[in-house]
Structure 1
């Protein structure tokens, strides 16, 4: 027993936290470095001409590809969490996912070989992130004893800082390496970042205190065989369907993104229908809360539809329409992707204190409505900026203002969404509902990626104004029904 106490004392050397938090902090920081580094330049690479080393896709198609790429990452977080819980354990899932991500970036960094290595790389990154992303968060929680809620919350705050540090540094580093068509250097930097994260994850494994070591609900041998057959059949069926589609001569990247977008929308529709139309021993109160949650889910999807246009439409606007100088120094267009994580790090403490101060006077539906309102206002600002840019390049500080407004919206909606998802989840689905919350990101990313097609039919100011109107209208509807939703959610009485 004395030895155990001594071990725990040794492990709590980092501001009172288990030393494993440093291992997971650095793993997530470097994984996010690789993810946001790629995301910052992916649109430009896809849209660049073949002569400039890109794929030469039309901009609407490039935007749609980035959208479904983001959507698939969030979709695969569901099976990634299941695999960890039933087969691998969170610790092995994170390691496996990190290796697959690194291989994906290496595939994209190969300077020869055409499109094959690009699509292979993106597929590997999607699969690896689906394994790593949900399970590393689970491991953070597993570092702390049951009931140590205050310290666990603080640990997640440290972890969240790692996410944003990686997201802040990556666009600047990767985009400068990839300048002038040196795409393989940018993709290679993302691979190196993931490799560093993996190396310190393995080296620091002894500090993880067994977190995620074994699956929480391991499959029986019979279940593993059945899962293997189902997985092989599903993957084989998908491969055959794609092969037949390609053989028919009607397959295009454009059509493929549309199919994936439709599939992404159908997943949450099917899931909510499964919950509400089946029995599952749900109480009347749980059913009522789920109906209220669908409103918030749709609101979140609309928010992410606009918010996650940052690496595509807004990135392109930065390159084509702004004077990329700040404080007398030139920056790359992709460096504007660092504005968001910087502002998040500044304002997270402010909003955390604000919600504590407001207490129960402001409900989740009102916070969601404010988030939608702010994302709408940000695109009103973009409409004005685009109008000014028709006469010539405008200051990049316009984009800084837009990202500032969006961060106010994100901090009103995103952390609140995680909390309300857990609060409203039926008992039978509690362990799955955080995955359902991430489906709102997937739907928003996929649909948002398709909206760029509107630019073939309307001007940029009209495009931004249209999306702003959708968000503001949704905010108004949500605010109008806020009291009713608070009653359905059990926040207040009728």
Structure 2
């Protein structure tokens, strides 16, 4: 990528970053809306009774499918990154991936076993094309501004979690309260909007992400040749990426309990039925938690419009329409809840806390990573794993005395505290990991190495499903506290090891900060 292309990308600024970053922000937001909206429903739908419209699967079988699905969506980015690097270009990979995911969500809305597996297959393929290449576009755009990458990825990650917040809240609510089909279908509608918004606004990226040409391939070879002038440095940095990747397995194996065992804990063992003043207070709090983040995201949308509407009116109009629909659904949901007597908090509701905390804390962490108090990459990873373990400590303590036959239902506080600490840990690892891959890997290998990084995340997701499926067995033999203690001790231990490895990691990174 030429210096001029990078400078052009940085010409129009929104909130201190290029307007193009926020095009990616909203595209990724709708993709995550669809992914997390579906993920929030999948296990509950499969394990719910036939009377409730579910399929009455066992928890073990449901979490096995969940783990395989969440693993696979991180395995296919290796292929998607390769295809984009060599043939498609990042932009067309994103567009085709979004189209495949739209078809996948539509298939799941049919609610038959055949279409369930067809839908999951489309989602896996689509995600493989979409996920690594969105981050590759950012990496290329910020190639001449590496000092701003951590902040850029943190803001991008805010978009990721804004989508997750809205998807879990709306798809989860509609799926549990109205219809599973409508919940799954809503995820596909907004994936389609995200694809159209990206397609009609893609020229904002200049030459970034276009199909490879002979000239661009030659440029990549020249860059690779320059890197090969110092093969020991390249080797050491790749080793550093692989070490970071190994530790992400420990993180995601625990963190992804959110879509499995933590959802089961919310459904079976958390007091969610509220009446009288408690119900009223929750409805008020839920309304504030819903409206305020949406107002913040709408403000970002308006700032983007001020810079891009004249040049990219079609893409912006599509984005406007999607937000009008979101506001309509949100206001309908709020009105419906206030007209009801009492309330039962949906089990999926707790999943929005992670996204809410991300939206609140991502700007703070972004500023922290750009300040003189910035931590090294290994220290961020160590801190993130430790915070994750502490979050499970709240669940281990809150679940004391609960067994498989227990009718005890505990306070929502334990889940809220767990999600807070998990979120703080996530901010230290997930966006930072993406940033460090982009800084440590030679430019010619960016797409495929993002795919390799996601491969390790996929391993963590599969472990999450396998380990989460043991919740009933471990609870029956020992206790629910024992189950959550495993996820307390292992991440904290891994975090301490990473902190001890910090001096070695700095040497392997050869000056990359």
For Structure 1 versus Structure 2, the TM-score category normalised by the shorter chain is: 0.7 to 0.9
Residues 1:471 and 2:491 aligned together: yes
Post-superposition CA distance 1:297-331 (Å, at most 9, x none): 32221111000110111111111111225733343
Alignment partner, residue 364 of structure 1: 377
Residues 1:328 and 2:282 aligned together: yes
Alignment partner, residue 296 of structure 2: none
Q: Equivalent of 1:338, from 348, 352, 359?
A: 352
Post-superposition CA distance 1:194-227 (Å, at most 9, x none): 122223333434544354232367999xxxxxxx
Alignment partner, residue 169 of structure 2: 172
**Aligned positions, number:** 424
Q: What does 1:154-173 correspond to in 2, within 5 Å?
A: 156=153, 158-173=155-170
Alignment partner, residue 325 of structure 2: none
1:128 to partner: Cα distance: 0.8
Structure 2 distance, partners of 1:42, 1:218, is 46
Report the 3-state secondary structure (helix = DSSP H, G, I; strand = E; otherwise coil) of the residue aligned with 1:46.
helix
Alignment partner, residue 387 of structure 2: 374
Structure 1 distance, partners of 2:110, 2:102, is 13
Structure 1 distance, partners of 2:363, 2:80, is 31
Alignment partner, residue 134 of structure 1: 132
Residues 1:443 and 2:456 aligned together: no
Structure 2 distance, partners of 1:482, 1:153, is 19
Residues 1:413 and 2:413 aligned together: no
Structure 1 distance, partners of 2:148, 2:498, is 35
Alignment partner, residue 195 of structure 1: 192
Q: CA, structure 1 residues 93+481, in 2 after alignment: closer, same or farther (shift >3 Å)?
A: closer
TM-score of the aligned structures, taking structure 2 as reference length = 0.73
Structure 2 distance, partners of 1:429, 1:23, is 24
Q: What does 1:190-269 correspond to in 2, within 5 Å?
A: 190-215=187-212
TM-score of the aligned structures, taking structure 1 as reference length = 0.76
Q: What does 1:420-435 correspond to in 2, within 5 Å?
A: 420-425=436-441, 429=445, 432-435=448-451
Q: Any stretches of 5+ residues in structure 2 without a counterpart? A: 218-227, 284-342
Alignment partner, residue 400 of structure 1: 416
Q: CA, structure 1 residues 15+364, in 2 after alignment: closer, same or farther (shift >3 Å)?
A: closer
Residues 1:458 and 2:507 aligned together: no
Post-superposition CA distance 1:431-485 (Å, at most 9, x none): 5333222222111101111012433432221111122222222233333444444
Structure 2 distance, partners of 1:491, 1:90, is 29
CA contact (8 A) 2:172 2:348 kept: yes
Q: CA, structure 1 residues 158+464, in 2 after alignment: closer, same or farther (shift >3 Å)?
A: closer
The 10-residue stretch of structure 1 (344-353 or 286-295) with the greater mean CA deviation from structure 2? 286-295
Q: CA, structure 1 residues 483+318, in 2 after alignment: closer, same or farther (shift >3 Å)?
A: same
1:428 to partner: Cα distance: 7.9
Q: CA, structure 1 residues 366+162, in 2 after alignment: closer, same or farther (shift >3 Å)?
A: closer
Report the 3-state secondary structure (helix = DSSP H, G, I; strand = E; otherwise coil) of the residue aligned with 2:484.
helix
Output the aligned Cα RMSD: 3.4
Q: CA, structure 1 residues 445+104, in 2 after alignment: closer, same or farther (shift >3 Å)?
A: same
Post-superposition CA distance 1:103-131 (Å, at most 9, x none): 111111114xx300001001101111111
The 10-residue stretch of structure 1 (99-108 or 204-213) with the greater mean CA deviation from structure 2? 204-213
Post-superposition CA distance 1:26-67 (Å, at most 9, x none): 322212111111011111112223443333321022112112
Q: Any stretches of 5+ residues in structure 1 without a counterpart? A: 221-279
Higher relative contact order (CA 8 A, sep 6+): 2
Structure 1 distance, partners of 2:82, 2:154, is 25
Q: What does 1:82-93 correspond to in 2, within 5 Å?
A: 82-93=82-93
